[in-house]
Amino acid sequence: MQDALTFLEASDTLPLVDVYFVADRGTMYDPDGREGALNVALRSIRRGTRRLSGPEIDAALDRLGAELTFTGDTTSTTLHAAVIRRNLLQLLDLLAEILETPTFPAREVEQVMREVRADLIEARDDDRILAARWFRRTLFKGHPFGRPDAGTPKSLDAVNRDDVVAAWRGAATGSLRLFAAAGDITEAELNGFRDQVVGRLARVDVTPRTLPEPATPRGRTLVIVDKPARTQTQIYIGGLGTMPRDRDHFALLVGNTIFGGTFTSRLMREVRSKRGWSYGAASRLGRDRVREAWSMWTHPAMSDAPACIALELKLLDKLLDDGVTERELSFAKSYLVRSRAFDLDTATKRLWTRIDQHLLGLPSNFQARAAERIMAVTRDEVNAALRKRLSSKNLIVSVLATASEARAAIEDAIDGLDRTVVIPYESD
């Protein structure tokens, strides 16, 4: 049963159990022009089975005191359920039924699509979401990472029930499925759940899709997400980083921690502590099967945005030109290693590191050796990784602001700006 693996992190410290079903197919399998099909499927799956209606499923979960969520991203689909130990076997039977025989009633699918459309429209009120969305869509244009997981109002208009059913069947019977659990559960119980589900899910042939390497952006691109009557902005600046399999991944992780990964980082100190332009100022290094985004985020007042952007670009130039200091290096390595304790302090967290490791195709000792590899990183390696992976010349600058009031000043603040794109905030 090579395509259905089990991961168990047993612990009887508390009478609680977390159960996961994870498949290695995500929203990148949605047909072009019908993005959002899998998201609708995951939100519809508990609306009915051959035996139970949606309200009956909800009532059963309530009786068991259980939680159940389905989520999907570009490359994976995940079921997560949590329950008290004494109700575990009943929950596993219910989960198996939901996974095996969802009926996706047409009326329920239509209702879910209305709910998703409403959520997408409501998200237009969240300025940070909008700035982040257009940063990623611009950086990953033409790449699966740039596709909207939940779709758009336009793409949902093209999605029908057949698309929703096909999206779920493709994910549920994918090339790799993980059945995992943490807490007060035995290996026999977990294996029994796996065998019950796998034995009853009819396989669906889906042509595998390759996740390509994203292309490095060329030049400096300013994206203004134009929203009226803004007094505060949301700013994302960045490009590509690394993927965990890269030899210099841990070196870049340390470099990012120094630049914007802690409350005392360079970015936080210069933007917030010294100038008070933005309450939050941070940089983030994404991780996936191929190179993900590296970005820095701030949210200054619109009057401070041009100076803040200019400062961030200057700080990035200085980081790449001068590198990091030995003192910064020592602090960052110690911080990262100490922080790992909080990533592994529960059975569920330890389990998820194993799942993540497998989904990303990492060596079996990747997590176990992470602290060792972090501590072994040298200053020269950090500086080399920063200069190799990050670029101050090839950047996406995504700013949510009122374009008529802010565009000229922001353009003047970006030396060597190659192009400006203005996106109405209501755009899909």
Residues 78 and 183 in one domain: yes
Burial code (b: 16+ CB inside 10 Å, e: under 16) for 309-323 equals bebbbebbeebbeeb
Contacts of 71 (CB under 8 A, 6+ apart): 42, 77, 78, 80
CATH number at residue 274: 3.30.830.10
Comparison of pLDDT for 61 and 207, the residue scoring more: 61
Residues 290 and 232 in one domain: yes
Burial code (b: 16+ CB inside 10 Å, e: under 16) for 63-75 equals ebebebebebebb
pLDDT, one tens digit per residue, over 340-349 is 888 888 999 9
C-alpha separations of 214 from 138, 145, 393 in Å: 12, 8, 17
pLDDT of residue 132: 98
1: pLDDT strictly greater than 50: no
Residues 250 and 120 in one domain: no
49: pLDDT strictly greater than 60: yes
CA 105 to chain centre: 29
Q: Sorting pLDDT into bands at 50, 70 and 90, what band is 328?
A: very high
pLDDT of residue 4: 85
Nearest in space to 398 (alpha carbons), one of 259, 304, 299: 299
Residues 61 and 156 in one domain: yes
Residues 325 and 408 in one domain: yes
Domain boundary among 153, 172, 200: 200
pLDDT, one tens digit per residue, over 123-142 is 999 999 999 999 999 999 99
60: pLDDT strictly greater than 50: yes
Residues 99 and 143 in one domain: yes
pLDDT of residue 420: 98
Q: Sorting pLDDT into bands at 50, 70 and 90, what band is 203?
A: low
Residues 157 and 249 in one domain: no
Min mean pLDDT across 61-70, 132-141, 356-365 is at 356-365
pLDDT of residue 309: 98
Nearest in space to 290 (alpha carbons), one of 243, 240, 359: 243
Residues 107 and 254 in one domain: no
pTM above 0.75, yes or no: yes
Contacts of 363 (CB under 8 A, 6+ apart): none
pLDDT, one tens digit per residue, over 300-320 is 999 999 999 999 999 999 999
Q: Sorting pLDDT into bands at 50, 70 and 90, what band is 202?
A: low
Does residue 177 sit within a domain?
yes
Does residue 238 sit within a domain?
yes
175: pLDDT strictly greater than 90: no
Q: Identify the domain containing residue 135 by its residue range.
A: 4-200
The number of folded domains in the chain is 2
pLDDT of residue 343: 87
Domain boundary among 145, 165, 200: 200
Does residue 313 sit within a domain?
yes
pLDDT of residue 332: 98
Does residue 33 sit within a domain?
yes
Does residue 369 sit within a domain?
yes
Residues 127 and 248 in one domain: no
pLDDT of residue 75: 93
Residues 188 and 247 in one domain: no
Does residue 205 sit within a domain?
no
Q: What are phi and psi of 414, to 5 degrees?
A: -105, 100
Contacts of 210 (CB under 8 A, 6+ apart): none
Does residue 403 sit within a domain?
yes
Nearest in space to 413 (alpha carbons), one of 162, 185, 201, 220: 220
Does residue 317 sit within a domain?
yes
Residues 278 and 387 in one domain: yes
What is the pLDDT averaged over residues 244-255?
Answer: 97
* 338 burial via Cβ count (<10 Å: 0-12, 13-18, 19+): exposed
Residues 140 and 185 in one domain: yes
